[in-house]
Structure formats: C-alpha cells, structure tokens
Structure 1
C-alpha cells in the first residue's frame, strides 16, 4: 500500500512540475525538483492544457452571460495568456522570426534566441490571434456552449500534439544559452501513452464525428510541423513545440466552426 502511495505521490509531483513550467500557477514550495522529474513532466502536457482550458472556458462562459460574445472571447484569450505568460505564443513568434529571417540552421537558431520581436514573428502572432478571436466569436454566435467546450478541449489536445513531437524528432538546441528550454529532450513510450490516453478522454467530451475529425486534424498538424521543423533545423526546439501548440489549437477551432457553420 505504501509503495502505491509513493508512486501516486511522485506522479502528482511530476504534474506539479509541469504545471509550474508551463503556467504561472503557483505550486507548493516543497515540491521536489530534479532533471529526471522535469524530463518526465512532458507526459502531463495535455493535462496542464486542460487546466488552462478550464480557466479559459469558465471565464468565457461567465463573461458571455453579461457581455457580448466578442468581448467574452477576448477575456477568455486573455485569461489563457495570463496563466501561461504567453509561453507558447512567444515560441510561435520566435519560430517565424527564425525561419523567415535565417538561411542556415545556425542563423535561424541564433535569431530564435533573440528576445526582440521581428516582423515575421509579429505578423504570425497577429494572424494566429486574429483567427482565434474571429473563429471563436463566430462559433459563440452559433453556440456558446460549444465554444466553452472547444476552449476546454483544444487547449489540452493541442498541447498533446506538440509534446508528442519530443518522441519522434531530435532536439537540436542543447547549448546553455537557450532563451527558453523545452520541457524535456527525451520522451519514453510511457510518457507518450499518457499523452495519448489523456487525449482520448478529452475527445470523449465531444460528439463522435467532431472528435474523429479533430483527432485527424491534430495528427495532420503534428505531421506537418514535424516535417517543417526537420527541414528547417534538423529537429525541434522548445520554441517549435510552442509554435506547434498554437497552430494545432487554432486549427481545431477552425475545424469545429467549419462543422457547425
């Protein structure tokens, strides 16, 4: 019995490490940390997404009761940005700055380490946020309940798609000067299965046709991003994972909107 309790306690600690790494949500100060625990924390990437998605979904639902849905969507987006510190959006901007401004992988990595925002990154960030707002607003005009569910589910599913890249592709930024390091540079089959099972339970919240189409869309974005990152860099970086998450999330909103519009 004690062995099972210790195993459960360790998994809780690993989840808390993932929560602290990817969000601004405080965790108990006595939570143990080690590189090994950090490396395992990617298994709970989708679960962290559910936490963020739940906060975003609740804020939207409460806001739309007293405000226009367009304003409620902005509030929901702001909540997710505040909770994550725009962690993934920063990765998206860095990827587009690096890929757009560099010729060789070394140049692209150097640009991606720069904390300044360039034209390519700003443009990509604006377009993705604009598509999020417009698609969610259009969806909310049709069904506020479905918008709430979309916010909850896509935050989790998109993070699973991004985190699963760790299993399939090499990590190409291993220097100590990296501006932002990824959650892990290795992923075991057990870690991957936790992501898959978490995604399966998230999909159960949706109607079957929508769940199947969303799963296909997430796998497609994962494949396209993996190929794109490999062609550009030879693998992935932490910024690449953030970019994949953003692209997978916004694609999911568009898929749901296309199904009900």
Structure 2
C-alpha cells in the first residue's frame, strides 16, 4: 500500500465509470482491493443525492428506482452484469468448463434476467421503505461501501477459477489489504440501524456465495465477485427494510 492514491484511482477505474485520470504503471488490482469499499462509497454519493431529491417529489418506489438507475449508470452495471453471467453459467452449465464458457458469453439468458429482476426489485422495494430521504440516502452510501468490503477477502480465500483473465491477473490481496477493506466495511455498517444484524446477514451472504462459487467452478472470477457484491447488498437491504417496516 505504498501509493494509496494510485490504489484508489485503480479501484475507481475498475468498479466505476467516474473519471480517475490515467495510471502510467497501475499497481496490481489485488493490492488495491482495500480501496473497493471507498470506491463504493464514492459511487453511491450521486445515487444518494438523486434519491434525496426524488423522494421529495415522487412516490418512494420511483425515487428508489431512479437512485438505483443512477448507481448503475455510474458503475456501468458492473456488478449486475456479473450477477447475470453467474446465474446463466450456474443455471445452464453442467460441467465446470461449460459454466465458465457461458459466463464469458455476452448474451443474457433466462437465469440472468430473473436474477436481475430479483436483485433490482428487492433493492428498490427495500429502499422505498426508507422512513425519510436522509435515511435512504445514508443507507445507499453505507450499503455501497459495506457490500464491496468483503471482496478482497474472497479474492484472498479463493483461487482464480481460470488461469487467465481479470481474477488471475489481479493477484491475491495480502492480509493487511483485505483486513483494511473489511475494517472499512465494518465502519460503514455502524451507520446502519442494526449493525450487528447487518453484519450477520452480509457475512452469511458472502460465505454462501464463496461456497457456491468454489463448488461450481473451483474459485472466483470477476463475475463471481460482482455477484457476491449483489448478494451482500440485497442481504443488507432486506435487513434495513425489516427495521424500517
């Protein structure tokens, strides 16, 4: 972590479409993985603003959908794309090789469509239950941060599923890298109404996804990391919705 600014810029380049300049000699992505939750927080600021403004003028569900749309525009729907690819691969492939082949196919299938409908629907419904604009905006930033915090630990715990590709090139994050990422996520959870329950839900979702990807394809890919983020985010939103109900 000799150059934290370069790490943050790389995280923004990979996880968002926000302008981050150019890096003449980018650090390994695994070394920059501690900055994933920071990039998530930055990417959530605009959706939080969109929600706060829309909440005052529109029905809550429409405000929530607009906020999610703004977030997907900023990230290029990176994590949603990973979720759809993983759902298609795991749902349509019989062998490990076939699953990985389907995950690389840019076309989307029935499993991917259904996974996206559930993800967007659950998140929008939960955000629409926010008691006020401030609570929803704060939750967007906290969830955007915390849901990306475990990704470095997953990268360290699971081997790359392919010998080539983004996951293989990234390198495994060191203990200080993933520990800092997790610590940042824990800090974000403290901003939520039920941090203990939120932590349990997030941990359960991430562990379930890690077990599933290891069982299905033998390790992690960029798509599986995106799907893991989505699973963690949905879990956090469900806890929030339960507390707001």
TM superposition score normalised by structure 2: 0.94
- In structure 2, the residue matched to 1:152 is 141
Paired residue for 1:13?
6
Q: CA RMSD in A?
A: 1.7
- Secondary structure, counterpart of 2:184 in structure 1: helix
Q: Does structure 1 conserve the Cα–Cα contact (< 8 Å) formed by 2:202 and 2:236?
A: yes
CA separation in 2, counterparts of 1:214 and 1:204?
Answer: 9
Q: How does 1:170-249 map to 2 (within 5 A)?
A: 170-175=159-164, 178=165, 181-182=166-167, 184-207=170-193, 210-249=194-233
- Give TM-score, length-normalised by structure 1: 0.88
What whole-Å deviation, never above 9, does each CA across 1:10-62 have from its counterpart, x for those lacking one? 21111101101111011123x3333x443311111111111112221111112
Cα deviation for residue 260 of structure 1 reads: 2.6
**Structure showing greater Rg:** 1
1:113 to 74, 79, 104: 104
Give 1:167 shift: 1.4
User: Contact (CA 8 Å) 1:60, 1:76: kept in 2 or not?
Assistant: yes
Structure 2 residue matching 1:160: 3-state secondary structure: coil
Per-residue CA distance 1:227-253 (angstroms, 9 max, x = gap): 111110111111000001011101111
Deviations 1:108-154 (A, max 9, x none): 000001000011111111111111112211x23x3332222211111
Q: Is the 8 A contact 1:13 1:32 kept in 2?
A: no
Supply the distance in 1 between the matched residues of 2:28 and 2:97 (Cα, whole angstroms): 30
Q: Distance in 2 between matches of 1:61 and 1:163?
A: 31
Structure 1 segments of 4+ aligned residues over 4 angstroms from their partners: none
Aligned to 1:99: 90
Q: Is 1:135–2:119 an aligned residue pair?
A: no
- Choose the corresponding residue for 1:89, options 80, 91, 98: 80
CA distance in 1 between partners of 2:18 and 2:160 (Å): 27
In structure 2, the gaps of 5 or more residues are: none
Asked if the contact 2:153–2:179 (Cα under 8 Å) also holds between the matched residues in 1, the reply is no
How many residue pairs get aligned? The number is 244
**29, 34, 41: which one pairs with 1:38?**
29
